[in-house]
Amino acid sequence: MKILDLIQRDATLSTAEIGERVGLSSTPCWRRLQNLEKQGTITGRVALLNRDHLNVGVDAFVSIRTDQHNEGWFEAFAEAVAAFPEVIELYRMSGEVDYLMRVVVPDIAAYDGFYKRLIEAVDLTDVSSSFAMERIKYTTALPLDYAGERSEDA
């Protein structure tokens, strides 16, 4: 867990640095990292970019409802959404909304262009958007407190 906590907060740490922080020499630390990758616990390592430097400072949360709940529609929807780089998260939801996506764009005009392309690409019943006014908390680090409590389905 210590290794996972370290690398999810800073993937640039060397194996030697990680080993030193968790009390292992480089070779056993490297083996543990390799095992975590083989098991699929570590699925990749990325760099986090400064959104303001890249002119994508606006978050839009887009709620989508559809009256089509069949595999063909879903495949077309998923394929259409995959083609939009502005969509950085997409979830199938329970409750009133069928899908929720997070979209990042420079401004409202760019969002409007995205919206028009989206509704042209796929048949949707209802689309509702909310714009984040302020980011209060943001992290990519997962909580590790529950890691030992795997459900039987997992």
List the chain domain ranges: 2-39, 58-131
Look at residue 26 in the predicted model and tell me its pLDDT: 94
Within this chain, domains 2-39 and 58-131 share the same CATH topology: no
What pTM was estimated for this model as a whole? 0.85
Look at residue 148 in the predicted model and tell me its pLDDT: 76
The top-level CATH class assigned to 58-131 is: alpha beta
Q: What is the pLDDT of residues 2-36, one digit of tens each?
A: 999 999 999 999 999 999 999 999 999 999 999 99
What's the fold here for domain 2-39?
Arc Repressor Mutant, subunit A (1.10.10)
CA–CA distance, 122 with 138 (Å, rounded to integer): 30
Q: What is the pLDDT of residues 97-143, one digit of tens each?
A: 999 999 999 999 999 999 999 999 999 999 999 999 999 999 999 99
For range 52-78, the mean pLDDT = 95
Nearest residue to 62 (alpha-carbon basis) of 47, 73, 77, 52: 77
